[in-house]
Structure 1
Amino acid sequence: MPFGEQPAYLRVAGDLRQKIADGSLPPHTRLPSQARIREEYGVSDTVALEARKVLMAEGLVEGRSGSGTYVREQPVPRRIARTGYRAAGESTPFRQEHADDRVAGTWESSSEQAEASTEIAARLDIAPGERVMRTRYVYRAEGEPTMLSTSWEPLAVTGRTPVMLPEEGPLAGRGVVERMAAIDVIVDNVLEEIGARPGLAEETLALGGVPGHAVIVVARTFFASGRPVETADVVVPADRFRVSYHLPVK
């Protein structure tokens, strides 16, 4: 194959992709059959099949059992604004993760004690196996699941204090900054690292997506005088959301 020339299946997939983009194949329209693709583009069954696989992997089409392959309706990405963390008294877990005042949000959570894995221990600067409080959240905006979050707090910091359980006690439902301040731990820094990966089946099921589709992962850690006091993984569907940062310049 000459340098720069695309394989036949990518050329076919690209033409079908363009038809989806320009509305020639609108949402919920049945994708041309494998036989029709073969005839229209003058390609083999193998090429036609691989082109359809590309579009399915990209999330542009979906198979319906006993019916065929159809163009998916593409959601308009919504913005998850990351604008910093609120002062004590103004930050709830939803606002902490989804800092957009225009969106009304709710969350569900569950907490349990666990042993820190090697990865989480490294992020918290503790020994693997040390006890942590693990809290899992499902966040919803206007009733729609928007993100998942799992946080870990070292019990060496919060154990036997009124804030040991993030969603119970006198500061239930408040953010990390305010809860830590209540036990004289002053959060003064936060690190966020952004990555992407295929969504795990349980994640995409909880978020109403398709297993294997990409998710954005925000790995966030709060620090107090250089000591990590909480770390979390925030997971959002990449096809439905964009993470937007608005940072002051000093």
Structure 2
Amino acid sequence: MGVSRSSPEKGISVVTVDFPPVNALPVTGWSALAETVRAAGRDPEVRCVVLAAEGRGFNAGVDIKEIQAHGQRALIGANQGCADAFAAVYECETPVVAAVQGFCLGGGIGLVGNADAIVASEDAVFGLPELDRGALGAATHLARLVPQHLMRSLYYTGRTASAAELHRHGSVWRVVPGAELRAGALELAREIAAKDGRLLRMAKAAINGIDPVDVRRNYRFEQGFTFEAGLSGLADRVRDTFGKDRGKDREEGV
């Protein structure tokens, strides 16, 4: 359990998240993820990073129970941890390919929205159920995956979009059967990693430099409203009803 890093092929580093049962990350998990992705990007032997997860879902966001148990201290930690992890993916010195299966919710959107490419399994769904959790945030990243008005509709309703839908919008590179997800992500990573390593790093820096959206600043702006909701007590009132009629998995963060 936790965050691990492996090197299945020359030039490729796979960062894997494993926090059963639904990959809802605690504060320490977000920090560990940020540190691991940054370390992979700094490795001169790495030309492409694959961000993957164990279990039936890629990421279910933050650990709601941790926030309910520890209040503002956990909320501040989650805010900082998510910001660090999202920035680590975006600022990784090499391209990052996200391999997404099952649910990709909340913080998961922040991760894939900051990745350079996405390979998804046929069962993958993407969404921001933040309003049901007494939180706000990651609209910055959802807007990188779908058009503006669809982003707003998904955000306000908490509904999800399928991998096939995101593929039609051009944000998912390829949709594959679940059993082929890791192989599909590695295939793309292998093609990227075949390029000159120094030139790849220059290309990543150049592309980030011309990005019309300051993702770090925009996301931190959104987080200010999450904290405001927390201080006012509004978030607690929403979270106190979270999961009561949604089953055990939803209580864990899905």
Query: Which TM bucket (shorter chain)?
Result: under 0.3
The higher radius of gyration belongs to: 1
Which one scores higher on RCO, CA 8 angstroms, separation ≥ 6?
2
TM-score (norm 2): 0.18
Normalized against structure 1, the TM-score is what?
0.18
